[in-house]
Chain A
Amino acid sequence: MGDTTPFDEMHNADGSVREPYRALAQWLDEQPDKALTLMQSDAEAIFRKLGITFAVYGSDEGTEKVIPFDVIPRIIAAQEWRRLSKGIEQRVKALNAFLYDIYHRQEILKAGRIPEKLILQNSAFCPEMMGLEPAKGVYAHIIGVDIVRVGPDEYYVLEDNLRTPSGVSYMLEDREAMMQLAPDLFQRCKVAPVENYPENLRRTLDSVAPAGAGSSPNIAVLTPGIYNSAYFEHSFLADQMGAQLCEGPDLFVDGGKVYMRTTTGPERVDVIYRRIDDDYLDPLTFRPDSMLGVPGLFDAYRAGNVTLVNAPGTGIADDKAVYTYVPEIIEFYLGEKALLNNVPTYNCTDSDKRAWVFDNIQDLVVKEVHGSGGYGMLIGPTSSKAQREEFKKKIEARPDNYIVQPTLALSTCPTFVNAGIAPRHVDLRPYVLIGDEVRITPGGLTRVALKKGSLVVNSSQGGGTKDTWVLED
């Protein structure tokens, strides 16, 4: 870490092309001038026409942007992926076991492996979930694990995202666009398909339906509505799965059961893939001012008459303060060593530690414990003096609200920018489905920081996406 050149996904240090990228490199060489420029503008037109847009919070109402799509794919070799997916599977199994334990006997707390206070006084802990038996014992059915790579064999998990991870529609549409733009490239590389994600999602949701639901359960995708930044994804997934896309007012609870209001009257709902936060799910149980949720939903859930995906209260397992303990969690429940690294993470509550953090802040990343989307974050090496001073004040005022990590040298991947093809930093979010079995879609969403040198890949802050290929043997 520090000044050394980051690992490049495509090129070795001596400039030669890494094995998985051979066919791509050759293809790029063969492209006539301007071909990539044309592809880039075609891609933009494809996305805008399909309405694959996202709303940026804080900008004018109705402003919709297209997430920039980069035409150069990110490629992962088959054996690289096998290692990664093993590590991911281990992690998501352990985290679900952890959630079951936390909302039942709390053995891990009794064993003193995690401080009780960290869990029980955490705002992400959901006491209403205590003792509840979710279908198949699964709490987090849909997980998007954020992973960065810093070397040929070195991966770190940044975040686990067990609440309502988004972005999977971009994974699917990026592939669709790439196949339209460069069909010949797919003939030269054996790329593992991602297209069955919606089918697998449907199977996962079916598998966790309540006992009485029958062989073809009624599935609803619950969205906050068209002004939500991820609305496109909600409608896309509902469409692809043949599920009903509902807003809160479309659903109601009667006699402990959930129904949707259809043109011919009430129809029972068995599984709700909800894309609204815990707090807004049910004004009777959680935030009383919520207009997005369904009154009585939580009671229906407790009664086992409907399955909520993901379960409320999963946030306790991806909390940034709990994150530090994930290797511990894996060992405790599975008796295995973690296959994927955690980023070393420090808190600032101790005054000595704080002094060290302040001395080294220009080399560190500071994150708000409950922040997301790249907001409320300081990246030391690219920050200004004023920003660093501001964060010192913030940390001083509320030390428990921040965690600190070393700045990782995120790998780079060749990216088509104004100046031509240049390396840009990337991360990776594979999507995992957990129901009757664990299903991991090969690849995932690669986010790329389009600004030179930037480490922030979030689409709200100038990040783009790339199609992500896992090669088959």
Chain B
Amino acid sequence: MRMLGRTAQNLFWLSRYVERAENMARLLEVGYRMSLTSRREGGASEHLMSMMQAAEVDEEFNKKHKTADVDTVAHFMMFDPDNASSVYSCLMAARTNARSVRTAITTDMWESLNGAWLEFSQIKPRDVRGAKLLGLLQWVKQLSHQFRGALLGTILRDDGFAFSQAGNFVERADNTARILDMKYYVLLPRAKMIGGDLDIQQWTLILRAASAHRSYRHVYHDRYKAHNIADFLILRPEMPRSLIFCARAIELTLDSLSELYGKRQDCHEAASQMRAMVEGTTMETIFAHGLHEFLTEFIARNNRVTECLSESYNFY
């Protein structure tokens, strides 16, 4: 018996939402740290706003709030149901998708997610401030790791696995591209090659948001440099959150579907084009054509993969 189109859709979004919850926690952590270290008047609020721009939730925030102070932003990013990307909303959506496909996911996956949701529901938003916030953000990341572990350890390597992997990497690619785009101007090549304090602070932000501030050193054995940071997050195949890593993973995953179903479709073409964008190019070429333009196109192609995938496999 073939999988229902709706089941495939639920599996895809289930993984997307868990990945998004993790990314939101990362972004909030960065925004929070930056706001703490900002010495300029209004600097804290600016950092928080640009973090929310990257998450594409700034418009919703401005509708509800006048000022972006740490507590308000933290609450908005963690607990606000009006924010469709808040950790609360992501976990809720992930669990709703999981409930819809209880028969297509393993007990371990369900228990991991359901357990996380139950724990999260016990948290009183009021109590989450300062050091507690960082602890909670760590917990959100861990729950995502735990879910992924349950998935990788127990799920059958069939079409269901492929749809959930596709969701995972499409979301991650989107997130990394957005983080880069948010601060693309601090990554542009400049006459002065050594960054000032402010630049270094911004670069740290970018790397941290991708959990890449430590692994950067392992790859480059060098201090932070704009060129390397862009290279790391776009073109480095060993970096699991880089655009090329995600694009390759998406293409491989979709290829496994075409093999299983014996048919190539539009989504395969879309994935292959997206991968070609980041394959065999250099940062110099990308800078020459414009980093922002490059990222915009990448995000659009990534969206196109989701669209084609939905059509090819009867999501509805």
CB distance from A214 to the nearest CB of B (A): 13
Minimum Cβ distance to chain B for residue A260 (Å): 6
Contacts A49-B115, A244-B1, A250-B4 given; does A263 touch B159 at CB 8 Å: yes
Interface string of B51-80 (1 = CB under 8 A from A): 000000000000000000000000000000
Rounded to whole Å, the gap between the CB of A196 and the closest CB of chain B is 19
* Chain A residues within 8 Å of chain B by Cβ, number: 26
SS of B interface (majority): helix
- Complex CA distance for A168 and B40, rounded to whole angstroms: 64
Structural contact, A239 and B5, CB atoms closer than 8 A: no
- B114:A244 contact, CB within 8 angstroms: no
Does B314 lie within 8 Å of A226, measured CB to CB?
no
Contacts of B1 in A (CB 8 A): 218, 244, 262, 267
B96 touches A264 (CB 8 A): no
A263 touches B99 (CB 8 A): no
- Please, which residues of chain B bring their CB within 8 A of the CB of A226? 96, 99-100
Judge whether A262 and B4 touch: CB under 8 Å: yes
| A261/B102 contact (C-beta < 8 A), A49-B111, A51-B110, A226-B96 known | no
Q: Can you name the residue of chain A whose Cβ is closest to the Cβ of B262? A: A264
B316 cross-chain contacts in A, Cβ below 8 A: 249, 261
Interface flags, A211-230, vs B, CB<8A=1, else 0:
00000001000000110000
- Complex CA gap A72/B118 in Å reads 27
| Given A238-B103, A262-B4, A49 contacting B159 (CB threshold 8 A) | no
| Distance (whole angstroms) from the CB of B91 to the closest CB of chain A | 12
* B6 CB within 8 Å of chain A: yes
Give the residues in chain A near B111, CB-CB below 8 Å: 49-50
Cβ–Cβ contact A49 & B114, under 8 A: yes
Residues facing A in B100-128 (CB within 8 A) are 100, 102-103, 107, 110-111, 114-115, 118
A319 is an interface residue with CB less than 8 A from chain B: no
Distance in angstroms from B115 CB to nearest chain A CB is 6
Let me know if A263 and B261 touch, CB within 8 A: yes
Measured between C-beta atoms, what is the minimum distance from B28 to chain A in Å?
Answer: 24
State A226–B110 Cα separation when bound (angstroms): 15
Q: Is A428 close to B, CB under 8 A?
A: no
Q: Does the CB pair A235–B103 fall under 8 Å?
A: yes
B3 and A239 form a contact (CB under 8 A)? no
How long is the Cα–Cα vector from A62 to B102 in the complex, in angstroms? 17
Q: Complex Cα distance A206/B115, Å? A: 36
Residues of B within 8 A of A262 (CB): 1-5, 314
Q: How far is the CA of A265 from the CA of B114 in the complex (A)?
A: 32
Is the CB–CB distance between B103 and A263 below 8 Å?
no
* C-alpha gap A49/B119 in the complex (Å): 11
Contacts of B118 in A (CB 8 A): 48-49
Q: Is A156 part of the binding interface, using a Cβ–Cβ cutoff of 8 Å?
A: no
Q: Select A231's contact among B8, B99, B114, beta carbons within 8 Å.
A: B99
A232 contacts across to B, CB distance below 8 A? 102
Are A246 and B4 interface neighbours, CB within 8 A?
Answer: yes
Would you give the shortest CB distance from B70 to chain A, in whole angstroms? 29
Contact B110 A263 (CB under 8 A): no
A231–B95 alpha-carbon span in the complex (Å): 14
B184 in contact (CB, < 8 A): no
- Cβ contact within 8 Å between A51 and B99: yes
B313 at the A interface (CB under 8 A): yes
| B107 / chain A contacts, CB cutoff of 8 Å | 50
B1-38 interface (Cβ within 8 A of A):
1-6, 8
Smallest CB separation, A84 vs chain B (Å): 33
Q: A residues within 8 A CB of B4?
A: 244, 246, 250, 260-263
The distance in angstroms between the C-alpha atoms of A232 and B114, with both chains bound, is 13
- CB-nearest residue of chain A to B115: A49
**Nearest-CB distance from A194 to chain B (Å)?**
20
A235 to B99, CA, bound (A): 9
CA distance A262 to B111 in the complex (A): 26
Q: Which residue of B lies closest to A225 (CB)?
A: B100
> What's the minimum C-beta distance from B305 to chain A, rounded to whole angstroms?
16
A247 and B6 contact, Cβ closer than 8 Å, known pairs A238-B103, A239-B103, A267-B1: yes
- Residues in B with CB closer than 8 Å to A267 are 1-2
Closest residue of chain A to B263 (Cβ to Cβ) is: A264
**Is residue A67 contacting chain B, with contact meaning CB distance below 8 A?**
no
Assembled-state Cα–Cα distance A49/B3 (Å)? 26
Contact B314 A263 (CB under 8 A): yes
CA distance A267 to B3 in the complex (A): 10
Which of A49, A231, A235, A250 interacts with B6 by CB under 8 Å?
A: A250
When A239-B102, A245-B103 are in contact, do A263 and B114 touch as well, CB less than 8 Å? Answer: no
Is the pair B2, A264 in contact by a Cβ cutoff of 8 Å? yes
Which residues of chain B are near A235, meaning CB under 8 Å?
99, 102-103
List residues of chain A with CB within 8 A of the CB of B102: 51, 232, 235-236, 239, 245
**What residues on B are CB-neighbors of A247 within 8 Å?**
6
Residues on A with beta carbons closer than 8 Å to the beta carbon of B314:
261-263, 265
B contact residues around A238 at 8 Å (CB): 103
Report B315 CB to chain A, min CB distance, Å.
9
Residues of B contacting A236 in the complex (Cβ-Cβ under 8 angstroms): 102
> How far, in Å, is A453 (CB) from chain B's closest CB?
33
Cα(A200)–Cα(B250), bound, Å? 42
17 A-B pairs in the complex with CB atoms less than 8 angstroms apart: A49-B114, A51-B99, A225-B100, A226-B96, A226-B99, A232-B102, A238-B103, A244-B4, A246-B4, A247-B6, A249-B316, A250-B5, A250-B6, A262-B1, A263-B8, A263-B159, A263-B261
Other than the given A238-B103, A263-B314, 5 more pairs (CB < 8 A) read A49-B114, A49-B118, A250-B4, A261-B314, A263-B4
